[in-house]
Structure 1
Amino acid sequence: MAESLEGKIAAITGAASGIGLATTEALLEAGATVVMVDYDEKALKECTDRLGGKAIAQVTNLIDPESCGRMVPEILEKVDHIDILYCNAGTYIGGDLTETDGATIDRMLSLNVNAVMKNVHDVIPHMSERGTGDIVVTCSIAGHFPTYWEPVYSGSKWAITSFVQGMRRQMIPHGIRVAQVSPGPVISALLADWPEENLRKAKESGSLIEASEVADAVLYILTRSRNVTIRDMLVLPTNFDRV
């Protein structure tokens, strides 16, 4: 039986667009308050103005160490506590390794891996003191399969799979559930790097899913009874046949 999210307080990174925004909207509809974390202050204001008082803006640049380190303390200045941390922010690099450069690789690892580890590190003392909490991370099908056409992105998501599953075990004694959701290709800004022809073919063949479908999976994870952890949920387009 599904548990209610009424009155819960969530923090979602990358919340001003894509999966983060779709999950924010779903959690608000389920009765939660959502602290929307993003670096785009203008987009956040537009979102919170539209979504109402239970959507709270938190401007954080996750690839800036000082800003990232202030995220959890600043959130706790705006809300009493954090029931749910959804580390969703990420970026994408496709193509052969030789087609990118060191600075781009650094930025991806900073956002896809380092920021996630830092955010989880910072929220654990708060959740442990309360003896409860949920941590969810957006991974990817690329974190389960050697996707040779996007090795940097895939490598970052394999790192997250390892991290999340290790943390899941560490947090059991503290009453904190740790899970990940692993989507296939989602219609979002992350696909901006895809070659136009590949994107067109994927859309035409039904090989992409909507961000709202990933949000549905996150809600399922969060609404299970506390004695159940969905350790990972793979959400794929039915016609996606590359893995």
Structure 2
Amino acid sequence: MGSELDGKVAAVTGAASGIGLASSEAMLAAGAMVVLIDRDEGALKALCEKHSDRAMPLVIDLLDPSECATLVPKVLASAGRLDIFHANAGTYIGGDLVEADTSAIDRMLNLNVNVVMKNVHDVLPHMIERGSGDVIVTSSLAAHFPTPWEPVYASSKWAINCFVQTVRRQVFKHGIRVGSISPGPVITSLLADWPPEKLEEAKVSGSLLQASEVAEVVIFMLTRPRGMTIRDVIMMPTNFDL
């Protein structure tokens, strides 16, 4: 177990699986207290039983506006303060736009964009008052390349890329760092929407990342000297070819 984040309190959304789970476990291993936020109560309970009392579950449906608004008050009530916020929760839609369900589009844009903005909006006053903090947002390689097979998803991440860059410039004077991680395809449940032949091709060619590899980059970002902000890290498998 490391000690790079000893004494820090972190909160991670979408913490029950995938990148959120890997990020939470990496922060716990580095010594942080972590509030794991997800709507999957059973998964959170199992995870917190697996880890020490430094892992605290917080069951919230972020797509419910009234529940979403309770995130920061509940984190502060259970942990006392917040040093690190990883806005990770998100969903995915791939394929041709004309074949997409419009209600699914609404849900994805709400979770990938609106919820992220609302969560960061609610976190910032606490960090500003304390004069320090780290905000990391899970973005995507799709934020930097107009991926033709995922126009809705890519658009949500382009919006987040702009959000991270502009908010960073507003709050750095308060001692707050804002950055994003932009991985290429990661082996998580989000790939379930990929065409089967494309997913199999990616697995065979070694062009997928592990969630744990993304978590290692999160820890790298959090442990830089306070005078340095890693604004965005683009990660891709060596064999990945757009």
Which TM-score band (shorter chain)?
over 0.9
Q: Distance in 2 between matches of 1:40 and 1:52?
A: 19
Q: Distance in 2 between matches of 1:24 and 1:228?
A: 22
Aligned to 1:4: 4
Distance in 1 between residues matched to 2:64 and 2:155, nearest whole Å: 22
> Does residue 1:165 correspond to 2:165, yes or no?
yes
The corresponding residue for 1:222 is 222
- What is the rounded CA distance, in whole Å, between the counterparts of 1:109 and 1:41 in structure 2? 24
- CA distance in 2 between partners of 1:199 and 1:145 (Å): 19
1:6-65 superposed Cα distances (whole Å, 9 cap, x missing partner): 110000000010001111111111000100000100111011111121110001111110
Matches within 5 A, 1:85-234: 85-234=85-234
Offset at residue 101 of structure 1 (A)? 1.6
How far 1:4 sits from its partner (Å)? 2.5
The aligned residue for residue 83 of structure 1 is: 83
Q: Which runs of 4+ in 1 moved over 2 A?
A: none
Provide the secondary structure at the position in 2 that maps to 1:154.
helix
Q: Partners of 2:51 and 2:186 in 1: how far apart? A: 23
What per-residue deviation string (whole Å, max 9, x for no partner) do you get for residues 180-216 of structure 1? 0000000000001112111111000001010000000
User: Aligned equivalents of 1:80 and 1:4: distance in 2?
Assistant: 20
Aligned to 1:38: 38
The residue that corresponds to 2:28 in the other structure is 28
The residue identity in structure 1 corresponding to 2:152 is V
Give the alignment of 1:57-68 within 5 angstroms.
Answer: 57-68=57-68
Q: Deviations over 1:212-236 (max 9, x none)?
A: 0000010000000000000000110
Distance 1:90 1:224 in 2: 26
Aligned-residue offset at 1:172:
1.2
CA RMSD between the two structures: 1.1
Distance in structure 2 (CA, Å) of the matches to 1:74 and 1:8? 17
SS at match of 1:135: strand
Unaligned runs of at least 5 residues, structure 1:
none
Q: CA deviation at 1:71?
A: 0.7
Percent of pairs with identical residues: 60
TM-score, reference length from structure 2: 0.98
Rounded to whole Å, the distance in 2 between the matches of 1:119 and 1:93 is 22
Matching of residue 55 in structure 1 with residue 55 in structure 2: yes
SS state of the match for residue 7, structure 1? coil
Distance between the aligned counterparts of 2:193 and 2:47, measured in 1? 25
